Copies of this chain bind each other. A is one copy, B any other.
Amino acid sequence: MGSIRIAIVGVGKIAKDQHVPSIAGNPDFALVATASRHGKVEGVPSFPDIESLLENVKDLDAVALCMPPGPRYSAALTALRAGKHVLLEKPPGATVSEVDDLVAEAARKRVSLFATWHSRFAGGVAQAKDWLAGKTIRSVRIDWKEDVRKWHPGQAWIWEPGGFGVFDPGINALSIVTDILPMPIHLTSARLQFPENRAQPIAAELVFADADGPDRASATFDWRQTGPQTWDIHVSTDNGELLLRSGGDKLLIDGQTVVDSGDAEYAGIYWRFAELIAARESDVDLRPLRHVADAFMIGRHEFVEPFED
């Protein structure tokens, strides 16, 4: 059993598919409890909410917050005030503003706050970042197209205000590009397509500039893609072409495969969390969420055909 006693709060699909096995596979952690309205993990004590968890599990060190972004702030604040290290699933909050307040609270309590971006731990990302360092970027092209019915079956909250819509997967792409590019980018225009019967977009087209010019990067996010799924980032530089495929698992340089890895994102997240806790540091990068907020703020809204689950 690992020395960091952790609890999962919000036991849904992502917790069961990713967090439970990643914690089990990491020698630094021991899953000692869960808190969730409905979900449980076999063999682990469960509580209905974070308050009863904190009251009953006295020697808890850390919590992983896996519920939707809406209620995450209040759970995070409760855990930080109790002196626990906190891991936030992505996106780290419903708003940009609230996460800054959590950073301040973590600093006051001298505990670690980790706003995770799981796609940054895909097998090809670190090497892509190394390869791009020092190069001049000519253009960046992001294609992030998947079938919402396959990945979010019946998840009504993603279509509600604050649910992010197609930016729920799209923010994964933004978390990778903000990590690997050697220069900052900012949005200059966006087109958001809302199904007539939904409050969140099903598709988006984004255009970004950098300090040296407009149209440096563009992105298409689309939740209507059936058949093969596309999660690709192309970066054209003064010294070669980079392609991250399959959400970052595969890396090609000038057409040659240099990384072809399986899914190991959440294992990487927990290694990093253990490292942060050991150093009593936080890791909160809000750039991906800020780009999404910018897209909603300056985007042109369009309506498309209704979406039925």
Contacts and interface: CB of A to CB of B under 8 A. Distances in A.
Given A199-B301, A300-B199, A97 B290 contact: yes
A293 B291 CA distance: 10
A262 interface: no
Interface string A276-302: 000000000001001111101111110
B184 A77 contact: no
A307 to B, nearest CB: 16
Interface in A182-198: 184-190
Per assembly, the copies of the chain total: 2
Interface in A167-212: 184-190, 199, 209, 211
Contact of A297 (B73, B95, B187): B95
A161 B98 contact: no
A95 B294 contact: yes
A304 interface: no
A162 interface: yes
B294 A96 contact: yes
Contact of A77 (B95, B185, B211, B301): B211
A184 B300 contact: no
Contact of A96 (B161, B199, B293, B300): B293
Contact of A293 (B73, B297, B301): B297
A300 B162 CA distance: 9
A241 B296 CA distance: 36
Those 7 A-B pairs whose CB atoms lie nearest each other, nearest first: A293-B293, A98-B186, A95-B294, A97-B186, A162-B298, A296-B297, A296-B296
27 contacts: A73-B186, A94-B188, A95-B186, A95-B187, A95-B294, A95-B297, A96-B293, A96-B297, A97-B184, A97-B185, A97-B187, A97-B290, A97-B291, A100-B184, A101-B184, A101-B186, A104-B184, A161-B298, A161-B299, A162-B297, A199-B300, A290-B293, A292-B297, A293-B293, A293-B296, A296-B297, A297-B297
Interface of A: 73, 77, 94-98, 100-101, 104-105, 161-162, 184-190, 199, 209, 211, 287, 290-294, 296-301
